[in-house]
């Protein structure tokens, strides 16, 4: 794994796109998310009833798709490690669009494009990434988000 400074990332990384490995969205994952959030709508947790919908089966919650960001970012093989990083925290999103549902059993991957990286104060950097969740075998992505995080070095 390559290690770079936050300044090097700010100088050379803008516009860089990285892609994760594929991850399967299982029914078990969907069910656990439903339990954690209290969203047990049948299109997520009842395969028999969901077969009767235009989706043809159960689908992942939109917020489950969004919450895959940390998992998918951990599966980017060529992502450099930031030297001296102490922590990173979510700061929020500028926009999120759910374009297509993720059906149970489908594989997804994350596409991350660094849009901006600025130093807010010494040792605190704000990065904005375009985060796209692609569905294997589908032309249209499941989701596109512009997400902001803070990095402390």
**What is the pLDDT confidence band of residue 16, given thresholds at 50, 70 and 90?**
very high
139: which residues sit within 8 A by CB, 6+ positions away?
none
| H-type alpha helices, 17-81 | 27-37, 42-45, 47-50, 62-67, 69-73
The confidence score (pLDDT) of residue 1 equals: 72
* Lowest-pLDDT choice from 1-5, 28-32, 52-56, 66-70: 1-5
């Amino acid at each position: 794994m390559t290690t770079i400074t936050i300044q090097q990332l700010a100088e050379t990384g803008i516009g860089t796109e990285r892609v994760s490995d594929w991850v399967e969205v299982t029914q078990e994952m969907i069910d656990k998310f439903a339990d954690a959030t209290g969203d047990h709508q049948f299109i997520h947790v009842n395969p028999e009833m969901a077969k009767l919908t235009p989706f043809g089966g159960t689908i992942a919650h939109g917020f489950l798709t969004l919450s895959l960001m940390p998992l998918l970012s951990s599966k980017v093989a060529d992502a450099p490690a930031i030297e001296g990083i102490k922590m990173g925290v979510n700061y929020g999103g500028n926009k999120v669009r759910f374009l297509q549902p993720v059906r149970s059993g489908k594989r997804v991957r994350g596409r991350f494009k660094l849009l901006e990286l600025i130093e807010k104060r010494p040792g605190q950097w704000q990065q904005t990434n375009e985060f796209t969740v692609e569905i294997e075998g589908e032309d249209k992505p499941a989701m596109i988000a512009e997400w902001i995080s803070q990095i402390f070095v």
